[in-house]
Amino acid sequence: MFIDSHIYLTYSSFEGTVPCIVGSKEMERIKYMDRLQLIKKFRDNDILLCIEPGIDLESNYKILELANQYPDSLFPAIGVHPIRAPQTKWSKRKELLSLADNPSVIAIGELGLDYHYKRLKQHRIRQKMWFAWQLKLAEKSHLPMILHIRLADTDTIKILRHHKNKLNGGVCHCFNKGSDIAKIYRL
Ligand SMILES: [Zn+2]
């Protein structure tokens, strides 16, 4: 059995039908499938569960709605992506809290820091604020996390240290350092 820990089925590109490669390696062909057909296809290939993380406030609502339609296949994570953090109003925390309270939510994310794009110093401060706040949310809710970390290891480790022994694990992606740094992440 496999679990896809990072899917974006709520994206508008999945409205209607999407082209998918089906068939054997020798006889591949394109078939157009809708979301339900795709989920069935996942199941046929032993991918029994998919987790979709939140990116911004709006996407969190969409994920909860879609997870409600496919409760055995799609599981929601609630969060604000670091790239979307600067544009997300700080006052929206309350809304996020109540979304995370939904019993179908299985993780917090994606949360983290992403310094790939050259941005204003102010953007990084906003990323850090949202990251730290969501870590607290993960801590309080005892849920695992979906971390998105890119080129921001020093700041990430500094912030994670405040939560040592209080977090409930999870996955980290976009990470581009070696095993020595990865070990420090395992708090
Ligand atoms: Zn990501």
Number of domains present in the structure of the chain? 1
Ligand 1 center from residue 90 Cα (angstroms): 20
Ligand 1 center from residue 174 Cα (angstroms): 6
pLDDT band at 182 (very low <50, low <70, confident <90, very high): confident
Containing domain of residue 152, as a range? 2-185
CATH of the domain at 38: 3.20.20.140
Ligand 1 center from residue 70 Cα (angstroms): 23
CA-to-CA dists, residue 122 to 84, 128, 129, 155, angstroms: 13, 10, 11, 15
Question: For residues 133 and 158, is the Cβ–Cβ distance under 8 A?
Answer: no
Question: For residues 143 and 110, is the Cβ–Cβ distance under 8 A?
Answer: no
Ligand 1 center from residue 162 Cα (angstroms): 22
* Residue 124 confidence (pLDDT): 93
pLDDT tens track for 24-40:
888 999 999 999 999 99
pLDDT band at 13 (very low <50, low <70, confident <90, very high): confident
Which residues lie below 8 Å from residue 164, measured CB to CB, with a gap of 6+? Answer: 187
Ligand 1 center from residue 24 Cα (angstroms): 30
**Cα distance between residue 172 and residue 185, in whole Å:** 9
